[in-house]
Amino acid sequence: MWPLSNFLKSFRVNDGDPNVCRAQLAAVAGHIPHIYGLITVCTYALAWTFWGHAPLILVLTLPVLMTVLAAIRVSAYFRSPEDQLSDGQVAKWLQTSIWICGGHSLSTTIWALALFPYGDAYARGHVAFFIGVIVTSAVFCLKQLRPAATLWLIGSMVPCAIYFSFAGLPAFNAIAVNLIVVALILYSVTRDFGSDFEYLIRDKTRMEEQQAETQALSDANYKLANLDSLTELPNRRSFFSQLDTRMIGALDGEADPLAVGIIDLDGFKAVNDIYGHAVGDRLLVEVGQRFEKILSDDLFVARLGGDEFGLIVSNTVTDLELGLIGERVRTILDEPFIIDEVTARVGASVGFAVYPTAAYSAKTLFERADYALYHAKTNSPGETVLFSEEHEKQIRDIHGLERHLRDADFEEELSLVFQPIVNTKAGHVRGVEALARWDSPAGGRVPPDKFIAVAEKAGIINQITKVLLAKALRAAMHWPNNVFLSFNLSAHDIGTTQCVDELVEIVRNSGFPTERLCFEITETAVMQDSERATEALLKLHKMGIQIALDDFGTGQSSLSAVRSLPLDRVKIDRSFVVELESDKSARAVMQTVIDLCHNLELQCIVEGVETEAQLEALREMRCYHIQGYLFARPMSAEDMDRFLAADSNLKALSA
């Protein structure tokens, strides 16, 4: 039993490799019509040779059966396409085909040998020729399925060789020897071909798997290169690539008009600071999902970074249409975001620039959209602003101002004026704020809010700060010991370790007491990079320099800033003072802020006080440190010296 068992196993399909099985099915199944067509034609030809010599039932038995079987097998093949079969069905089909091949081989050979005694020498030669043709053709068609080809060889050649050996005819004895030699050669060729075929299929499978891995890696690299990992929207690189492509089409006149839009989320920093970065990231993901709902062939959306998103709008670029797109953006963000039981709300400001009205290049078009966004956030947060001719004029003015700044002699052209900070309870000057001024030979006196902003964007604010700080320290050297100097810093001044070290060096070289120096930093500037700002301010604070938070209440994260920064003072913005006399809610807000400062043991300074009524209201709220036109306008260093010398005159006004 054991040798027979092993022998039968050699004719079983190796179903351990489904890819090989499917390849064998594809190769063999395509030859099924050829095999059955050949066998059918050959059997009828042999039957015709023995017609009238052999019994009719013997002559027609196999041809008729072969015709029926061929029709069944061929129709079954066309009814069951191989790509619709499971791996198990493929293996079963192959195994069935192997046994059917063995049956065909044996039955065809027995039928031909049964006719052999009834024929003359020519008819008997036809029998040998019939068997040789059928075997050779079948083995050739079945060479990819080695067990089937081998079984066909055995089923035909072995019976024929034995029969012809005992036929008693010398010629057929020689044919028997030829058949055995041919069978051995065919078996060897079939075995080698079958092994090579299986190896090639496995090698092809490995190559396809490697190709799939390579493609997957390529797709992953593409995703990393072109998609934002957090929101899975196109990223900044993809945005500019898409913009460049569409701009080329627009320049060639082959594409629709287009516009670039930039969206900035209003209130996102507050969510990040209050609830943490995890909630902020989840919010950005949901924002991205909401933006995906408005995508179309004419609207491309990408995340540019942080809470900023970019739009490329094709075809619909009129003011009305862009306004409607901006409205859609704001509408989809109106619904609150529910994240881990936290309800967060954000808005959006949008800036648009249209090609070719605003610019002729992708870079400039983006810059114009960015300027429109800046204008929206500065003047009308939560609105949509389209870049206009007025904005173009403003940009030209800014560029001209920047050129003049870069050419300026800061030592000669920059100066300072000083405004006192009065302790109204004690009746004397408590401190003095230094305020920058620039007298340009080309443009005359330039307001500080203009040239400071331009200097920050141009990256030269640090040079201005160093010149002005040195001048301020020299002016304050001979002030009374109880008067501190308050000096404003830009976010850029505390943005790097080098900039902070340069400030420290200037202070040390001046010899001015650090305990009488106060650096003011706006809340908005701190929020640009709160971690770096906190680190820089801590370094300055450890030197004895006091820190004041300027323009308090105008930002979006005031309480967070007060809690985390090393503060000594808080300066309440003048916007809170304007309606102090007439608006009860304004008084309530002011009282809340003052109480907060008292509770945190921070000195509270109110800016912009201009009337006696405002002063009286602040006194009732227990706020005594005041800065404003009521006491003095900004003045030169010489005038400030005289003002401090006459400090006693303030007592009458403060009483």
Task: Give the residue with greater pLDDT, 599 vs 512.
Answer: 512
Residue 406 parent element (H or E): helix 389-407
How far lies 45's CA from each of 39, 61, 62, 122, in Å? 10, 13, 12, 13
Answer yes or no: is pLDDT of 311 > 80. Answer: yes
With respect to residue 496, please indicate whether it lies within any of the assigned structural domains.
Answer: yes
Please name which of 323, 324, 332, 295 lies closest in space to residue 310, comparing C-alpha atoms. Answer: 295
pLDDT grade for 262, boundaries at 50, 70 and 90: very high
pLDDT in tens, 226-240: 888 888 899 999 999
User: From CA 387, how far away is CA 367, in angstroms rounded?
Assistant: 10
With respect to residue 567, please indicate whether it lies within any of the assigned structural domains.
Answer: yes
475 and 583, same domain (yes or no): yes
Answer yes or no: is pLDDT of 377 > 90. Answer: no
pLDDT for position 655: 41
Last residue of a domain, one of 360, 387, 414: 387
Lowest mean per-residue pLDDT among 2-16, 421-435, 488-502:
2-16
510 and 606, same domain (yes or no): yes
Cβ proximity of 329 and 294 under 8 Å: yes
| C-alpha torsion angle, residues 538, 543, 545, 546 (rounded to 10) | 50
Mean pLDDT, range 594-609, rounded to an integer: 89
C-beta contacts of 417-420 below 8 A and 24+ residues apart: 417/634, 417/635, 417/636, 418/475, 418/634, 418/635, 418/636, 418/637, 418/640, 419/627, 419/632, 419/633, 419/634, 419/635, 420/627, 420/631, 420/632, 420/640, 420/643, 420/644
pTM listed for this prediction? 0.60
Task: Give the residue with greater pLDDT, 582 vs 114.
Answer: 114
With respect to residue 295, please indicate whether it lies within any of the assigned structural domains.
Answer: yes
pLDDT grade for 654, boundaries at 50, 70 and 90: very low
With respect to residue 633, please indicate whether it lies within any of the assigned structural domains.
Answer: yes
With respect to residue 467, please indicate whether it lies within any of the assigned structural domains.
Answer: yes
406 and 380, same domain (yes or no): no
User: From CA 589, how far away is CA 553, in angstroms rounded?
Assistant: 10
Answer yes or no: is pLDDT of 298 > 90. Answer: no
| C-alpha torsion angle, residues 564, 570, 576, 580 (rounded to 10) | 130
Last residue of a domain, one of 324, 357, 387: 387
pLDDT for position 77: 61
77 and 190, same domain (yes or no): yes
Domains of the chain: total: 3
Please provide the DSSP assignment of 192-251 as one string. HHHHHHHHHHHHHHHHHHHHHHHHHHHHHHHHHHHB-TTT-SB-HHHHHHHHHHHHHHHH
Last residue of a domain, one of 188, 208, 228: 208
382 and 411, same domain (yes or no): no
Task: Say which CATH number the domain at 534 has.
Answer: 3.20.20.450
pLDDT for position 207: 84
Task: Say which CATH number the domain at 276 has.
Answer: 3.30.70.270
User: From CA 396, how far away is CA 198, in angstroms rounded?
Assistant: 74
Answer yes or no: is pLDDT of 583 > 80. Answer: no
499 and 561, same domain (yes or no): yes
Tokens, residue 609: 């006080």
Mean pLDDT, range 199-221, rounded to an integer: 79
Mean pLDDT, range 509-530, rounded to an integer: 85
User: From CA 330, how far away is CA 326, in angstroms rounded?
Assistant: 6
198 and 250, same domain (yes or no): no
pLDDT for position 651: 47
Answer yes or no: is pLDDT of 557 > 50. Answer: no
pLDDT grade for 539, boundaries at 50, 70 and 90: very high
Q: What is the mean pLDDT of the chain?
A: 83
Answer yes or no: is pLDDT of 423 > 60. Answer: yes
pLDDT in tens, 63-77: 888 788 777 766 766
The domain containing residue 351 runs over which residues? Answer: 236-387
Strand 258-266 to 308-314 pairing: antiparallel
Answer yes or no: is pLDDT of 353 > 80. Answer: yes
Lowest mean per-residue pLDDT among 369-373, 490-494, 517-521:
490-494
With respect to residue 215, please indicate whether it lies within any of the assigned structural domains.
Answer: no
Answer yes or no: is pLDDT of 561 > 60. Answer: no
45 and 107, same domain (yes or no): yes
User: From CA 516, how far away is CA 52, in angstroms rounded?
Assistant: 133
* Identity of the highest mean pLDDT range in 193-207, 226-240, 508-522, 554-568: 508-522
Answer yes or no: is pLDDT of 25 > 80. Answer: no
442 and 569, same domain (yes or no): yes
pLDDT for position 474: 95
pLDDT in tens, 153-168: 887 788 888 887 777 7
419 and 377, same domain (yes or no): no
Mean pLDDT, range 242-255, rounded to an integer: 73
With respect to residue 228, please indicate whether it lies within any of the assigned structural domains.
Answer: no
What is the percent of the chain with per-residue pLDDT over 70, rounded to a whole number?
91
User: From CA 490, how far away is CA 436, in angstroms rounded?
Assistant: 12
Mean pLDDT, range 565-590, rounded to an integer: 83
User: From CA 456, how far away is CA 449, in angstroms rounded?
Assistant: 11
Q: 């979006």: which residue's tokens?
A: 556
pLDDT for position 638: 93
With respect to residue 374, please indicate whether it lies within any of the assigned structural domains.
Answer: yes
pLDDT for position 648: 52
Task: Give the residue with greater pLDDT, 261 vs 318.
Answer: 261
pLDDT in tens, 88-147: 877 787 778 778 877 888 888 888 888 888 888 888 888 888 888 888 888 888 777 778
pLDDT in tens, 166-178: 777 788 778 778 7
Answer yes or no: is pLDDT of 251 > 70. Answer: no
Phi/psi at 557 (5° precision): -140, 45
pLDDT for position 629: 92
What is the percent of the chain with per-residue pLDDT over 90, rounded to a whole number?
26
376 and 415, same domain (yes or no): no
485 and 605, same domain (yes or no): yes
User: From CA 112, how far away is CA 133, in angstroms rounded?
Assistant: 12
| Nearest-10 crossing angle of helices 146-165, 121-141 | 160
